[in-house]
Amino acid sequence: MRPKRLNVKITIPLLGEIGGEWEPDDAERRAAWELYVELVTRVSVVPLREDEGSAREALNSMYVLFATVRDILKRYGPEVAPPGARNEVSFGNLAITVLNRAVRPVLNKWHPRLTAWESSAPVGCSTVEHENTWQEIIALRADLESLRLVLLELAQVLGNVAGAADLIETSEVIPTQVSQASASSQPLAPRGPVVP
């Protein structure tokens, strides 16, 4: 069920909480669904474990969010960013605030540093191997984890506004099913779409 009015709160490290009352209209619900799908299908809301993935790929995935939000805002126009009272929020101001106050600082800090480190990779060394030898990789991964928590909060709000099932929790169920199948050597029946 889609809520008519929500009290929204998202915590951004070093900034504090943003939020207020939100009474989304149909355009905001559609925009929320679009951004929700983008967030839950990217590395943005999935933990980047120490022995998995690439910090570069995570940064690139975060960077693409700017173009995604820009396209959504242009498509729906000012209808998703109406002027409101001081304690009211909209799709537009939530999305832009999270991008500019949470995503942008992480990208501005880490993109140039990681690029400089990548340029020193020895011939024959994989990107991930070289990345994992970097003395700053733990700090970068910590910042990515803090950012993931912000984007997770945003995704949960957007999913609620859109009236969608919790697709974030669904993605956490699949690895358990796979490990159970491996243990029993029995194939699992499909339980939904599999996304690579």
End-to-end C-alpha distance for the chain, whole angstroms:
29
Residue 7 has pLDDT above 90, yes or no: no
CA 194 to each of CA 61, 134, 173, 191: distance values in angstroms, whole numbers, following the listed order: 20, 34, 12, 9
pLDDT at 57: 92
3-class DSSP assignment, residue 19: strand
Residue type, position 61, single letter? S
pLDDT at 49: 78
Q: Residue 195 has which token pair? A: 């996304």
Residue 99 has pLDDT above 70, yes or no: yes
pLDDT at 177: 41
Q: For the ranges 29-33, 71-75, 189-193, which has the lowest average pLDDT? A: 189-193
